[in-house]
Structure 1
Amino acid sequence: MTSRLRLLVLAAALPMMAACEHNYPGPAASNFGDANRMTMAAQVVNPDPQYDTLNPPTSGEHAGQAAERYRTDKVKQPVRETTSSGPN
């Protein structure tokens, strides 16, 4: 076969090979690509969400008190948390 004919055959076969679907044997075939599909599904907003309560419970009085403490520099200090469970 001449190099020109080989090049022609290769050029004709490339589009056909690029369109092949991968059929992986074994357990990997059933969940191939699931991570990408799950990530895309997590980004979709529910068009008709159903909530138990229409608005979360809030208190304007508590928010006002917190704002006043912030203005007067009397903010409640949070409880210190540690990430280790062993002795220091």
Structure 2
Amino acid sequence: MTIDARRLALVALLPALAGCETIYEPQASHFGDANRMTMAAQVVDPDPQYDTLNPPTSGEHAGQAAERYRTDKVKRPAAVSSTQISGGGGGGGGGGS
């Protein structure tokens, strides 16, 4: 008789489990978005809009730079610091025993 009671309880709980299906909604609509976004980022704009049609260039300067590179007389770039050093100090905690 205990088997029949278990079956009856199981049958009584089945509609409750079916109701849980509609509450739980997986994010299937977002599945694959990362892949699609990565592919979209790699697509070239078919009609790019630029501020200047041709950026200013100089063939003479490029030739001089190539010659300096070949003869190992490359101009050193100016030193640029990306951080500012400011005064200040910090104290550390001391440990004791």
TM-score, normalization by structure 1: 0.55
Question: Which residue number in structure 2 is paired with residue 68 of structure 1?
Answer: 67
Change (3 A) 1:46 1:10: farther
Q: Aligned residues, how many?
A: 68
Tell me which of 5, 9, 12 is aligned to 2:12: 5
Change (3 A) 1:17 1:73: same
Question: Which residue number in structure 1 is paired with residue 49 of structure 2?
Answer: 50
TM-score, normalization by structure 2: 0.51
SS of 2:60's partner is helix
Q: Which runs of 5+ in 2 are unaligned?
A: 1-7, 27-32, 88-97
Q: Offset of 1:68 from its aligned partner?
A: 0.6
Please give the alpha-carbon distance, in whole angstroms, between the structure 2 residues aligned to 1:86 and 1:75.
30
Question: What's the % identity of the aligned pairs?
Answer: 54
SS of 2:53's partner is coil
Moved over 3 A (4+): 42-47
Q: Which runs of 5+ in 1 are unaligned?
A: 21-35
